Every structure is written in structure tokens, then in C-alpha cells.
């Protein structure tokens, strides 16, 4: 057994222990939600920080398939037997903000996840997982953590496996990330293909080992659990490259997924010479469809949207610049504005002050 297996087995053992213990009287008195083997002791919509735990298991493959499809809000789940006798086990502990999960499924499983706003990181000490999503393919590597795509549909195929998951509410992760990038909470786009470096991976594992007991224990005070969850999200933000993308909430739906992809493409390549056709192609849309949807949902044409994002980036550079060292003309050229007068006028129209005034702050 490798060191990775030992660590991930310890994580799974902690989650399993949390769902196995009896409910303390103090927990019942505080009204915290507790679910063990499907027996709920709280309302169907508990508070964000209400602790809950659940576990279910069996050896009926069709029952396991149906339960997982319902629990994950998935589609077209199919299962078939592997070389060993089939059994499954799933356990979870935490709250709606962040939960730790572990599962065993001794059969092959495939299906489609149509949409999820949550962020999740998984690792497979045994078996493997392959994910197909609009930007390519992801594969699990031994016990190394990897991220599943958010706010998009993806299909998956798993061999008989044992896996662990950290499931994170979108608003919680984006709130923690906002403290780093300095703006309000925004969608976080991770580099799904990135392979974590050894130092970052070691730091992630150390943090996971440290916070797991506090997250999964029903006796942990709510403030202490929140602190532990925040530490784990901070470690995740250190583990994978990411960027914040400021897209309107109305684009963060399944129906507007392609338009959101177009907006994300602009944010990713706004420092380059991109055209409306480039943006449409990136989102697999017809240019006319892109034009109509941007007008409907963003009140802007693709060209104007690119200009707005460039103005926002220029403002960030000016706010971070030093008078006497940073030149407005250089910032303007960096973000594709060749005419300084037009840049100043557009900047003043958007922000109510001229670039030189921002730089002088």
C-alpha cells in the first residue's frame, strides 16, 4: 500500500466512523440534522451549517445504481458486474457548506451528470474514473485528487472502485476565493488538466488529515467546523490553478451554459486579438445566435462585451500601478486600446473618472 493509499484510507475511515457513532444528546438539543442509513431527524431543508451524516450499503447492483442516479441527480446510469462479487457502500458527513464523502462500488458504472454548481474534488485509491466534458477528457491518476467540471454536463465511466470526495457549496468556495482576488464573489474556473506539484499535494494532504476529524464529528462546534472547512478550501485553492470570472448570475444556469462558455472564453483570452467568430466557435454557437443571446442576457454585442472586460482589466492594472512608474498609455496598449483618447473617453464613461485619476489614487 502506498502513502497515498494510507492517507486516503484514513480519510475514509474517519467519515465511516462519523456515520457509525451514536447521536450525542447535545446534538439533538441543538436541532442539528442527523441522517444515518437514511433516517432523517431534521427538516428536509436544513440550515447551511446544520450537521448531517448518512450511510447506505448493500449488494443489489440495480438498487445501488438507482440510488446513485437519484442522489447525484444524474441520467442514464448503467452498471455491470466486475470480476469480484458486487457490493456498494456510501458514507457522507458534514453540512450543506462542505461535506466529506467516501464510497465503494465493486462494479463498473457509467452515466451523465447534467448540471451542478457545486465544486468537488475526488480521488480514487482503487479503480479509476474517466470524464468526458465539452473541453476534453479527464482521468483519475491513482490516489491523486482531481476536480470534476462544474456548471456543465459531463459523462463518466468508472471501473470497480473505492473513492473519496470533498463536496463544496459554490457560494462558500467563491466567498473564500473572493478574499484572495479582492473582488466580490465570482465563479471560479479551475484548470482541470493541471497536475498538482509535490509540494502543493503534500500541503493538501496535511490539511485534509488535520481538518477531517473536525468536519465529520457531530460534536464539533459550528464555528470550529466552519474554520476547518475554510482551511480545506484554502488548501484546494492552493492545489489547482484557478481564475475568477465575473459573469452575471443569469448566465449560471443550465439553459445559458453556452453563453457562459462564451463569456469565460472572453475572460481567458481578452489579452489577445479575438473576434466574434472566435467567441462563437469556442462556445459552439452560430455567430448570429451569440449576437442575439448576448443582447438578450448581457445587453451588449460581443465586440462591446470584449471592450468592457478589457476596460475592467485596465482598471485593475491602474489601481495596482504606481504613479511615475506605470504609464496609462502602456496599460491601454496592453489591453488592446491603440488610441489613448478613445480609451480615456470609454474609461471615463464606464467608471466616472479618467485613467490618470485612478492611477493617482
Express each pLDDT in 153-178 by its tens digit.
899 999 999 999 999 999 999 999 99
pLDDT on residue 5: 46
| pLDDT value at 83 more than 90 | yes
Q: Where in the chain is the domain with CATH 2.60.120.10?
A: 3-243
Q: Which CATH number fits domain 250-359: 1.10.490.10, 1.10.10.60, 2.60.40.790, 3.40.50.300?
A: 1.10.10.60
Task: Return d(Cα 346, Cα 356) in angstroms, integer.
Answer: 13
| Domain 3-243 is found in CATH 2.60.120.10 | yes
Q: What is the pLDDT of residues 248-304, one digit of tens each?
A: 888 888 888 889 889 989 988 999 999 999 999 999 999 999 999 999 988 999 999
CB 232, CB 203: distance < 8 Å: no
Residue 167 C-alpha cell reads as: 463536496
| pLDDT value at 8 more than 60 | no
pTM: 0.77
β pairing state of 107-113 and 98-105: unpaired
Task: Return d(Cα 270, Cα 306) in angstroms, integer.
Answer: 7
Residue 27 banded pLDDT, cuts 50, 70, 90: very low
CB 72, CB 54: distance < 8 Å: no
Mean of all residue pLDDT scores within the chain: 87
Question: In sequence order, which ranges of the chain are alpha helices (DSSP H)?
Answer: 3-20, 25-30, 61-71, 170-181, 198-216, 222-239, 257-269, 276-282, 287-298, 302-320, 328-334, 340-351, 355-359
Residue 189 banded pLDDT, cuts 50, 70, 90: very high
| pLDDT value at 137 more than 60 | yes
pLDDT on residue 44: 54
CB 136, CB 193: distance < 8 Å: yes
| pLDDT value at 4 more than 80 | no
Q: Which of 11-15, 236-240, 245-249, 287-291 has the lowest mean pLDDT?
A: 11-15
Q: What is the pLDDT of residues 208-219, one digit of tens each?
A: 999 999 999 999
pLDDT on residue 21: 55
Q: Give DSSP secondary structure letters for 274-334.
A: --HHHHHHHTT--HHHHHHHHHHHHSS-HHHHHHHHHHHHHHHHHHHS-BTTB-HHHHHHH
CB 247, CB 268: distance < 8 Å: no
pLDDT on residue 9: 62
Q: Where in the chain is the domain with CATH 1.10.10.60?
A: 250-359
| Cβ-defined contacts of 293-300 (< 8 Å, 24+) | 293/256, 293/258, 293/259, 294/259, 294/262, 297/248, 297/250, 297/251, 297/256, 297/259, 298/248, 298/251, 298/259, 298/263
- Going by the DSSP 8-state scheme, the letter that residue 172 receives in this structure is H
pLDDT on residue 186: 92
pLDDT on residue 45: 61
Closest CA to 61 of 40, 38, 77: 77
CB 14, CB 216: distance < 8 Å: yes
Task: Return d(Cα 168, Cα 145) in angstroms, integer.
Answer: 14
Residue 48 banded pLDDT, cuts 50, 70, 90: confident
Q: Let me know the angle formed at the C-alpha of 129 by 127 and 133, rounded to the nearest 5 degrees.
A: 175
Task: Return d(Cα 213, Cα 274) in angstroms, integer.
Answer: 49
| pLDDT value at 246 more than 90 | no
CB 165, CB 134: distance < 8 Å: no
% the chain with pLDDT above 90: 68
Q: What is the dihedral angle through the alpha carbons of 329, 331, 335, 339, rounded to the nearest 10 degrees? A: -10
| pLDDT value at 26 more than 70 | no
Amino acid at each position: 500500500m502506498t502513502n497515498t493509499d494510507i492517507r486516503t484510507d484514513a480519510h475514509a475511515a474517519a467519515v465511516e466512523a462519523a456515520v457509525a457513532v451514536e447521536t450525542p444528546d447535545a446534538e439533538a438539543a441543538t436541532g442539528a440534522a442527523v441522517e444515518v442509513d437514511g433516517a432523517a431527524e431534521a427538516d428536509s431543508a436544513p440550515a447551511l451549517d446544520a450537521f448531517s451524516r448518512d450511510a447506505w450499503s448493500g449488494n443489489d447492483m440495480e438498487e445501488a445504481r438507482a440510488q446513485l442516479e437519484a442522489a447525484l441527480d444524474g441520467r442514464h446510469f448503467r452498471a455491470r458486474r466486475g470480476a469480484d462479487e458486487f457490493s456498494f457502500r456510501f458514507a457522507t458527513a458534514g453540512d450543506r457548506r462542505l461535506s466529506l464523502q467516501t464510497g465503494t462500488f465493486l462494479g463498473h458504472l457509467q452515466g451523465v451528470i447534467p448540471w451542478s454548481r457545486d465544486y468537488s474534488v475526488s480521488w480514487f485509491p482503487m479503480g479509476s474514473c474517466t470524464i468526458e466534458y465539452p473541453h476534453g477528457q479527464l482521468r483519475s491518476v491513482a490516489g491523486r485528487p482531481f476536480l470534476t467540471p462544474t456548471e456543465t454536463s459531463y459523462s463518466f465511466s468508472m471501473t470497480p472502485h473505492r473513492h473519496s470526495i470533498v463536496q463544496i457549496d459554490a457560494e462558500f468556495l467563491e466567498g473564500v476565493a473572493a478574499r484572495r482576488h479582492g473582488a466580490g464573489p465570482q465563479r471560479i474556473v479551475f484548470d482541470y488538466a493541471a497536475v498538482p506539484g509535490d509540494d502543493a499535494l503534500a500541503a493538501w494532504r496535511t490539511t485534509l488529515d488535520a481538518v477531517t476529524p473536525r468536519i465529520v464529528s457531530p460534536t464539533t462546534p459550528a464555528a470550529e467546523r466552519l474554520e476547518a472547512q475554510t482551511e480545506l478550501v484554502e488548501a484546494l485553492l492552493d492545489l489547482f490553478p484557478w481564475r475568477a470570472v465575473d459573469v452575471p448570475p443569469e448566465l449560471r444556469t443550465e439553459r445559458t451554459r453556452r453563453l457562459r462558455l462564451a463569456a469565460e472564453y472572453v475572460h481567458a483570452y481578452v489579452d489577445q486579438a479575438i473576434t466574434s467568430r472566435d467567441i462563437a466557435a469556442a462556445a459552439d454557437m452560430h455567430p448570429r445566435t451569440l449576437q442575439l443571446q448576448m443582447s438578450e442576457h448581457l445587453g451588449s454585442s460581443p465586440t462591446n462585451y470584449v471592450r468592457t472586460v478589457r476596460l475592467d482589466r485596465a482598471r485593475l492594472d491602474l489601481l495596482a500601478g504606481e504613479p511615475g512608474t506605470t504609464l496609462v498609455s502602456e496599460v491601454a496598449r496592453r489591453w488592446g486600446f491603440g488610441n489613448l483618447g478613445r480609451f480615456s473617453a470609454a474609461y471615463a464613461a464606464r467608471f466616472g473618472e479618467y485613467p490618470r485619476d485612478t492611477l493617482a489614487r
